[in-house]
Amino acid sequence: MSSSYFTELAQQYIDGEWRPGTGSWDIIDFNPYDNEKLASITIATVDEVDAAYRAAERAQRAWAETNPYTRRTVFEKALRLVEDREAEITEAIIEELGGTRTKAAFELHLAKEFLREAVHLALRPEGRIVPSPIDGKENRVYRVPVGVVGVISPFNFPFLLSLKSVAPALALGNAVVLKPHQNTPVVGGTLVARLFEDAGLPAGLLNVVVTDIAEIGDAFLEHPVPKVISFTGSDRVGRHVATVCASHFKRSVLELGGNGALVVLEDADVDYAVDAAVFSRYVHQGQVCMAANRVLVDRSVAEEFTGKFVAKVRGLRAGDPRDPETVIGPVINSSQADAITGVVDQALAEGATALVRGTTTGNLVEPSVLTGVPADSPLLRQEVFGPVAFLIPFDGEEEAVRLVNDTPYGLSGAVHTADVERGVAFAKRIDTGMFHVNDATVHDEPIVPFGGEKHSGVGRLNGETMLDSFTTHKWISVQHGRSRFPF
């Protein structure tokens, strides 16, 4: 059962060895639903971070020189292990992050798809011969691994979002040091290490440090070994990561927050749009960067849409994520619960109306639906990482485009219309990295570029874009015959 994960894997994983951290305090891993203590992990210090990066550096060169057909067998085995252990990993997701069974299935389905893609990615780098203006010169351009990649993963989809950077980086010949979120150190960290250890990944290529910036400061980012930092999290932290990386001449790949909108045009299938909008806002308690914070509805269908949306939200069962009937489980911790409750209170104080007002009990935050939030409210421009929907009527397509774009974020969104090409034309006018016609706002696929514009991030993950993130170009020229020099 997964409970053994929380005893066996409550350690650091450095250079192929499971060992305790040497910090002076422990990170306590709690079940967010019942606050049961799952594990206690002595944190990693700056010395352990250094040991992890040095181990990665030592192991990487031989791995890069390993035949990619050999490398890919590790990912084939890792995929089989996830399939074999799906029941235990599901329970771990439920216990450590309060994910429902539906959410765990969604996360594991995508994790397997990304491991399948990593198998192919190992064979993807190709070199080129580039013409030269100089007679007899042969220009070879190689795609080579960057070396060592530091990965920082979030708490909401920790297994998937760790694998999403770790597996491609390894497949392309790099070594990795992974720092999972403090609230999900096992599912987002040491479980991933165990998976690759059992899949036969050579020691040192993947290291996991469970720690906190209160202990290590910026050591994970500033260390001289990693050439790329892949960070998934808030834009506030992402700005800091980008700044530190730039000052140390490192590349950063930033997958940050969102403030997505789902738009319902006057010709939309209202019942279908309601289903898409409820899923887009409330999946995993709204703790999703692609979630539809805002639901924009053409005024001509607003009354019908609102009635059906509110009815469906009232029917969402909140409670124990172990219960297969539960749709809304707990948010990750009490500070998140307090923040979400504060958003609702602030909106009501600003004059909004609660069509549904959920109660908060511990970390269990029931869904809320708000309308009449003032147009100038900062709440409409920020990310709300919880089960709160803002319903906003609009008059015509031009106003809808303006409202959707009126945010510092630009990650995902969706539009519903009977005319697909009208939807595509609408999507092209929105400043986001991703936009969906007649569907939900929450999507991820292994070969489609994933990422955002504006404060939602820099760079892309998935498919060919992994090459841009985790490899670099090297030019080697060969002069056949003799060059002529001016002196």
Give the residue numbers annotated as catalytic, written as ranges.
255, 289
Query: Closest by alpha carbon to 353, among 372, 375, 340, 379?
Result: 372
Strand partners, 142: 474
Angle at 465 (CA atoms; ends 166, 149), nearest 5 degrees: 30
What SS3 string covers 346-413? Answer: HHHHCCCEEEECCCEECCEECCEEEECCCCCCHHHHCCCCCCEEEEEEECCHHHHHHHHHCCCEECCE
> How many C-beta atoms surround the C-beta of residue 381 within 10 A?
14
The two tokens of residue 198 are 């059992």
Distance of alpha carbon 66 from alpha carbon 48, whole angstroms: 27
The single-letter code of the amino acid at 298 is: D
User: Is 263 strand, coil or helix?
Assistant: strand
Token output for 387: 């089960």
Residue whose token pair is 């309601």: 274
Report residue 24 CA to chain centroid gap: 30
In whole angstroms, give the CA distance from residue 3 to residue 192.
Answer: 16
Report the candidate in 439, 445, 442, 387 with the shortest Cα–Cα distance to residue 276. 439
Q: Is 17 helix (H, G, I), strand (E, B) or coil?
A: strand
Are 367 and 318 contacting, i.e. CB atoms less than 8 angstroms apart? yes
For the chain, how many helices (H) and strands (E)?
Answer: 16, 24
CA end-to-end span of the chain, whole Å?
Answer: 74
Q: Provide the 10 A C-beta neighbour count for residue 35.
A: 12
CA contacts within 13 A on the Cβ side of 189: 33
CB count within 10 Å of CB 384 equals 22
Residues forming beta bridges with residue 253, ordered by sequence position: 230
DSSP 211: -
Tell me the three state secondary structure of residue 13: strand
User: Which residues, in sequence order, are bridge partners of residue 129?
Assistant: 140
The CB density around residue 480, as the number of other CB atoms within 10 Å, is: 8
Short-list 45, 38, 5, CA closest to 22:
45
